[in-house]
Amino acid sequence: MEGLVEIVTAKELYNRSEVGLYELQTFMFRDKTIMRFSDLRSAIKFGSYFVHKFLIPKYGIEEAKKFPMAKSGPFRDDAFEESLGLKKPDLNQETWLVIPKDRYSEVQEYIDSLKE
């Protein structure tokens, strides 16, 4: 899969000191699986294909909109400015897609379907 670096749990990132205890305990990372992509374009491409080729055909558009996936990434000094729209996102920046552990099986089902 293009740009995918690894799939890890937030706890694994904490154990490797890539996220702190605060981040691990927040809603954003608690009980989550993280798909690390080398760049924003790859993450967007994966997310778009996942929605259009898997979620919408399986659940319909209204339910697909409710799928709990968030974009995040490693801590950066400029992330706050980017979130406020004061700075354009760097398309080459590592990007994480964060998915609740209890819903990750659907993502894995999609990934497995790509191998067939």
Query: Which 3 state secondary structure label does DSSP give 94?
Result: coil
Lowest mean pLDDT among 5-19, 60-74, 85-99: 85-99
- Expressed in angstroms, the distance from the first to the final Cα of the chain is 13
pLDDT tens for 39-49 read 999 999 999 99
Q: What is the model's pTM? A: 0.84
pLDDT tens for 81-103 read 666 677 777 788 899 999 999 99
Query: Which 3 state secondary structure label does DSSP give 92?
Result: coil
**Cβ atoms of residues 37 and 74 within 8 Å:** no
Alpha-carbon gap, residue 99 to 103, rounded angstroms: 7
